[in-house]
Amino acid sequence: MSFHRITIRINGNLEQVDVPGNLTLLQMLRDKLGLTGTKNGCASGECGACTVILNGDAVNSCMVVAAECDGAEITTIEGLASSGDLDMVQKMILEEGGVQCGFCTPGILMSARALLNRNPHPTEFDIRDAISGNLCRCTGYNRIVTAISRAAEAESAAVK
Amino acid sequence: MVVAQNTRTNNPVGKSVARNDVLEKVTGGATYTDDIQFGPGLLHCRVKRSPHPHALIKKIDYSKALKLPGVKGVATGDDFPDLIGLYLKDRCFFARGKVRFVGEAVVGVVATTEEIAEAAVDLIDVEYELLTPVLDPEFGASPEAPLIHPDLGNYDHPNFIFPVANSNISNHFKIRKGDIEAAWTQCAAIVEHTFRIPHVQHVPIEPHVAVAKCEDNGQVTLWASTQSPFAQRALLAKALHIPESDFRVIAPLIGGGFGCKAGVTMEAIPVAMAMKYKGQPIKFRLTREEEFYTNFVRQGLVIKIKVGCDKEGNLLALQNRMYWDGGAYTEYGVNVTRAGGYSSTGPYDIPNVATDSICVYTNHPVGGAYRGFGMAELHTGVDQAMDMLAAKIGLDPVEFHKKNCVQGGDVLATGMVIHDVGIKECIEKVAQALDWEIKDKPSAPNKLRGKGVALAWKAPAMPPNAGSSALVKMNSDGTVTVSVGGQEIGQGTFTAMAQIAAEALGVPYENVKVSGPIDTRYSPYEWQTVASRLTWSMGNAVRNAALDARKKVLDVVAEAWGEDAKDLDIKDGYVISYKTEESVSIKDIVVYGLPKPNDGGWIGGPIVGAGSFMPSYVTGLDAETGQGNRAVVHYTTGAQGVEIEVDKETGRIEVLRAACAFDVGKAINPDMVRQQMEGGFIQGLSSALFEGCQLVDGVMRNPSFVDYRIATAADVPAEIDTFIIEHAQDDGPFGARGIGEHPLVPSIAAVAAALYDATGLRITNPPFSAEKVYLALLEAGLVE
């Protein structure tokens, strides 16, 4: 097994990690870096529980080879709140009651954050589309959609 | 709608306070079982599974596997001969002698990594002699069917389960009430129909995972994603012949269960491996594929219904014959069958009833608990039959439901007199929300539009004496710690328990913490987190514990102040005297006590309240007639309706809006009740439109999210109206009863009724996939 030394910026911090060639980004986050907020729901890119933001895009970290992340910038759920303040999508999903068992929540929040970063004024369709790869079995989704919509409104109001 | 967190919420029962378990869930800090770090000593387990639905095991050769570097050892059925099971003890840790379903565990392997364990599994050879499988429950119940469990007659079971020896029938529940044959002659309309409901999977987003460790002194610890830590302790300790006190289960937060993490499932495997390979923790986690095809399923059902009414539409008679596809082991499924039996009328008042609810062994995946515990399957048949009967007698379905639904004081099919229920108001709310009287035009020429309504009822299905207990510990900072043994599974029970404790004690909600994770060594006993029973049963235990603590506080203060405790109260965390208007913060007294007058010493001390609850009034039912004084503790009832459009070009059903109304007795937290109604409805809708295990010759053909689709954010209606009806439960905490499971119970029947209203077609074998609907439209000549 060949190992690769990669340098990544993760949640704002530079890290150097030695990873075997077959390790996924999800395995690296959970097993090498102890960032267990990112969840493993299927390990085959189908449920979205392992979503992180990689160079600005929401990706299923179970489908990314860690060795190919050299030089990448990665944000995980642990890095979403900054200096103790919850991100707007975190605040709004709490206010709207969009969290039950919480297992899909990290992935949904990362998909939502990536959406609002690239599209600050999403339509309801945009929101549903952006999280359609994040399966949730508890909530029925509507409160999550409302939370993301309200987060977008609050952020654009703050910009004005 | 949600109360801010920096407030002091007094008398929180009935208020939508913020949940106490969700902050760490949005930051990644919440700990689930797979997140616990065990260090480099952690071993991993994988399993060799049966590829056949029914076969004799002739030879197992694991010699090559043992030679693989990193492999620690293997275990087979011969290592653990004892039978386990929640109701009917019919299952071993690993298959012994024969396999009974595709995916059954045959050999377990422990190795230093998951990859090595998996590679070792591939090196194991198992020789089988194939047997004829039983793949249909109706055939399985017949004398011609090959026997799946020849030893059924010897299996241990409680006295309310009725297996038939030398058959595949592991439970036969009967009701005989009134004179059904005479009743048919008085009917003006009769509907007779067979409905087939497929197996479905629970699909929690967190797959099953468990870690077990056995110390050299024989003490076992199990960390598991489980709804049933205490039941697991009891069942596994007994099967392993070790004292319960030597078996500890630690149960962190659960990433969704819906019943599949109740009882003992895959946890038995790492426990078995740990017993054999002591000293190191052993982790076993299911792949998503295994989650689909090896674990508990919602069992399939063939339900044959004959129901009749008089010319005014009053129900007169129901004959209900149910064949449950219980799968290879029915240790838990036998009680789903019982629940389907005693609730077999649905929430309707019917004077003459004949029910046969039959649990049948098949060579299909093992049936277990699934949100609703038989009720969604039952209602899919019963409520569609009611919709058919309403159409046949010429009554509007809403009128028909209102005319026939149960009301307080009715004698149910089991002889039980039902308590006050608000189901009629639920029907009215749903009809109103959907503008039932107004027939809207389709939005486009290629669409058909319709509305449908269905009812639901469900009682907690459990042994008659399932109990709860709780501790309320008072802290010197004025906070209160509540210890319970019921699980936070996403439903919000820790929040509801904090509300109940705060209300009963007289302290702000924000000052109450609920201690987790559940740990059988430290947490008070709870039967299981199932059956929508926690708000009611554990809520009673918590209320009793809080009242006990409250009494202890007031007694101390009364003595110290020389007052009568009756003149004292606790408000906002202060003990106050109505007589003298004196007050003292509880934080000053609940640990350190109070000085007696005149420097005469001290009284009081650390205060801990204890409480428990167990229903004492549930009676047995006669084996031949199903009659008894009280079959269940209570029923939660409700109604649901949908408006849909059917696309004639694709067959796709779009749900435009939905309405749900349930009588919860008292909503401890109204917003959390609404969350249950919304989420449960969408899970039910998903099963109505998309879900079914495709079992071909015993093999599940769609064990992935690509092939087994569940509803996504893009599939759900934006408009879901929810209504809370409150007819108090006489023995519920503040009048409450459960709501966790009920909202998915009527969903399939409601969609089916709307599909009929839109198209005139009855499709009685869900899911109502676009393909199935389109083909039905084609066959009926509605499209060309």
Report DSSP letters for B67-86, one per residue.
TSTTEEEEEEGGG----B-S
Is B713–A141 a contact, with Cβ atoms under 8 angstroms apart? yes
Option in A35, A38, A49 nearest B205 (CB): A49
pLDDT tens-place string over residues A5-18:
999 999 999 999 99
pLDDT for position A2: 86
CB-based contact B643:B656 (threshold 8 Å)? yes
- Stretch A105-123: mean pLDDT: 98
CB-based contact A144:A96 (threshold 8 Å)? yes
CB-based contact B280:B41 (threshold 8 Å)? yes
CB-based contact B233:B271 (threshold 8 Å)? no
- Please state, in angstroms and rounded to a whole number, the distance separating the CA atoms of residues B746 and B760: 20
- Helix/strand/coil for B55: strand
- Please state, in angstroms and rounded to a whole number, the distance separating the CA atoms of residues B175 and B626: 4
CATH level 3 topology of A88-159: DNA polymerase; domain 1 (1.10.150)
- Greatest C-alpha distance within chain A: 53
Q: What average pLDDT does the structure give for chain B?
A: 97
Cα dihedral A27→A33→A35→A36 (10° resolution): 50
CB-based contact B365:B295 (threshold 8 Å)? yes
Option in B31, B680, B682 nearest A141 (CB): B682
pLDDT tens-place string over residues A36-81:
999 999 999 999 999 999 999 999 999 999 999 999 999 999 999 9
pLDDT tens-place string over residues B560-612:
999 999 999 999 999 999 999 999 999 999 999 999 888 889 999 999 999 99
Residue of B673, B685, B619, B628 lying closest to B15 (CA atoms): B673
pLDDT tens-place string over residues B39-80:
999 999 999 999 999 999 999 999 999 999 999 999 999 999
pLDDT for position B2: 44
Is B1 a residue whose pLDDT tops 50?
Answer: no
CB-based contact B226:B260 (threshold 8 Å)? no
CATH number of B23-30+466-613: 3.30.365.10
Query: Residue B3's pLDDT band (boundaries 50, 70, 90)?
Result: very low
DSSP secondary-structure letter at B75?
E
- The answer to whether A92 faces chain B, any CB pair under 8 Å, is no
- The answer to whether B26 faces chain A, any CB pair under 8 Å, is yes
Cα dihedral B291→B292→B296→B301 (10° resolution): 170
Can you name the residues that pair with B73 across neighbouring β-strands? Answer: B110
Encoded amino acid at B345, one letter? T
pLDDT for position B784: 86
Class of domain B34-131+208-285: alpha beta
pLDDT tens-place string over residues B130-170:
999 999 999 999 999 999 999 999 999 999 999 999 999 99
Q: H-type helices in B254-322, by residue range?
A: 268-276, 288-293
Is A127 a residue whose pLDDT tops 90?
Answer: yes
Q: Could you tell me whether strands B209-214 and B105-111 are parallel, antiparallel, or unpaired per DSSP bridges?
A: unpaired
Size of interface A-B (CB pairs under 8 A): 164
Identical fold between A3-79 and A88-159: no
- Please state, in angstroms and rounded to a whole number, the distance separating the CA atoms of residues B402 and B414: 22
pLDDT tens-place string over residues B89-124:
999 999 999 999 999 999 999 999 999 999 999 999
Number of C-beta neighbours around residue B306 at 10 A: 18
- Of residues B195 and A82, more confidence is placed in B195
Q: H-type helices in B465-598, by residue range?
A: 493-505, 539-561
Q: H-type helices in B464-529, by residue range?
A: 493-505
Number of C-beta neighbours around residue B756 at 10 A: 19
Query: Residue A83's pLDDT band (boundaries 50, 70, 90)?
Result: confident
pLDDT for position B579: 97
Residue of A88, A91, A89, A100 lying closest to A140 (CA atoms): A100
Give the DSSP per-residue string, B395-463: --HHHHHHHHB--TT-B-TTSPBP----HHHHHHHHHHHTTTT--PPPSSTTEEEEEEEEEEEE---S-
CA distances from B648 to B442, B458, B655, B761 (A): 11, 36, 15, 13
Is B214 a residue whose pLDDT tops 90?
Answer: yes
Encoded amino acid at B744, one letter? L
CA B145, B151, B154, B160 torsion-angle sign: negative
CA angle, corner A41, sides to A36 and A42, nearest 5? 130
CB-based contact B708:B767 (threshold 8 Å)? no
708-727 in chain B: CB under 8 A from chain A: 710-714, 716, 718, 720
B741 noted as active-site residue: yes
Q: Could you tell me whether strands B315-327 and B602-603 are parallel, antiparallel, or unpaired per DSSP bridges?
A: unpaired
- Please state, in angstroms and rounded to a whole number, the distance separating the CA atoms of residues B362 and B662: 35
- Please state, in angstroms and rounded to a whole number, the distance separating the CA atoms of residues B581 and B568: 9
Is B353 a residue whose pLDDT tops 60?
Answer: yes
- Please state, in angstroms and rounded to a whole number, the distance separating the CA atoms of residues B303 and B195: 5
Residue listed under structure tokens 């996403």:
B490
pLDDT tens-place string over residues B253-312:
999 999 999 999 999 999 999 999 999 999 999 999 999 999 999 999 999 999 999 999
- Please state, in angstroms and rounded to a whole number, the distance separating the CA atoms of residues A150 and A133: 21
- Helix/strand/coil for A79: helix
pLDDT tens-place string over residues B646-695:
999 999 999 999 999 999 999 999 999 999 999 999 999 999 999 999 99
**Rg of the Cα trace of chain A?**
16
Give burial (CB, 10 Å; 0-12/13-18/19+) of B70.
middle
DSSP secondary-structure letter at B17?
B
ipTM: 0.98
Query: Residue B640's pLDDT band (boundaries 50, 70, 90)?
Result: very high
pLDDT tens-place string over residues B463-509:
999 999 999 999 999 999 999 999 999 999 999 999 999 999 999 99
pLDDT for position B737: 98
pLDDT for position B6: 67
CATH number of B300-407+418-462+620-779: 3.30.365.10
- The answer to whether B517 faces chain A, any CB pair under 8 Å, is no
97-116 in chain A: CB under 8 A from chain B: 97, 99-106, 109
Q: Could you tell me whether strands B98-99 and B125-130 are parallel, antiparallel, or unpaired per DSSP bridges?
A: unpaired
Domain ranges across chain A: 3-79, 88-159
Domain ranges across chain B: 23-30+466-613, 34-131+208-285, 300-407+418-462+620-779
Token code pair at residue B627: 């009659």
CB-based contact B528:B466 (threshold 8 Å)? yes
Is B4 a residue whose pLDDT tops 70?
Answer: no
**Rg of the Cα trace of chain B?**
27
- Stretch B220-246: mean pLDDT: 97
The H or E element spanning position B679 is helix B670-689
Give burial (CB, 10 Å; 0-12/13-18/19+) of B40.
exposed
- Please state, in angstroms and rounded to a whole number, the distance separating the CA atoms of residues B292 and B47: 15
Half-sphere exposure of B394 (CA within 13 A, CB side): 4
Cα end-to-end span (Å), chain B: 50
pLDDT for position A11: 97
Looking at the complex, report in whole angstroms how far the Cα of residue A6 sits from the nearest Cα belonging to chain B: 23
CA distances from A64 to B207, B236, B299, B303, B361 (A): 21, 40, 37, 47, 43
Interface test with B, best of A138, A139, A145, A148 (most B CBs within 10 A): A138
- Catalytic choice (B206, B645, B741, B771): B741
Q: What share of chain A is helix, strand, coil (3-state, %, to 5)?
A: 40, 20, 40
pLDDT for position B262: 97
What residues contact residue B406 under an 8 Å CB cut-off, 6+ apart?
A: B347, B348, B349, B412, B418, B421, B423, B457, B635, B637
Peptide bond before residue B767 is cis, with ω within 30 degrees of 0:
yes
Encoded amino acid at B709, one letter? R
**Which residue in chain A is spatially nearest to B3 when comparing CA positions?**
A95
pLDDT for position A82: 84
**pLDDT above 90: percentage of residues in chain B:** 98
Peptide bond before residue B517 is cis, with ω within 30 degrees of 0:
yes
Interface test with A, best of B16, B22, B25, B44 (most A CBs within 10 A): B25
Identical fold between B34-131+208-285 and B300-407+418-462+620-779: no
Looking at the complex, report in whole angstroms how far the Cα of residue A70 sits from the nearest Cα belonging to chain B: 24
pLDDT for position A147: 98
- Please state, in angstroms and rounded to a whole number, the distance separating the CA atoms of residues B682 and B677: 9
Is A95–B716 a contact, with Cβ atoms under 8 angstroms apart? no
What is A3-79's CATH number, 1.10.1660.10, 3.40.50.300, 3.40.930.10, 3.10.20.30?
Answer: 3.10.20.30
Token code pair at residue B296: 């508990």
Option in A77, A104, A127 nearest B28 (CB): A77
CA distances from B299 to B46, B96, B295, B692, B711 (A): 26, 23, 11, 11, 20
CB-based contact B485:B469 (threshold 8 Å)? yes
- Please state, in angstroms and rounded to a whole number, the distance separating the CA atoms of residues B4 and B9: 9
Helix and strand numbers, DSSP H then E, in chain A: 5, 5
Q: Tell me the chain A residues in contact with residue B287 when contact means C-beta distances shorter than 8 Å.
A: 43
Q: How distant is the alpha carbon of residue B217 from its chain centre?
A: 36
- The answer to whether A33 faces chain B, any CB pair under 8 Å, is no
pLDDT for position B596: 87
pLDDT for position B342: 98
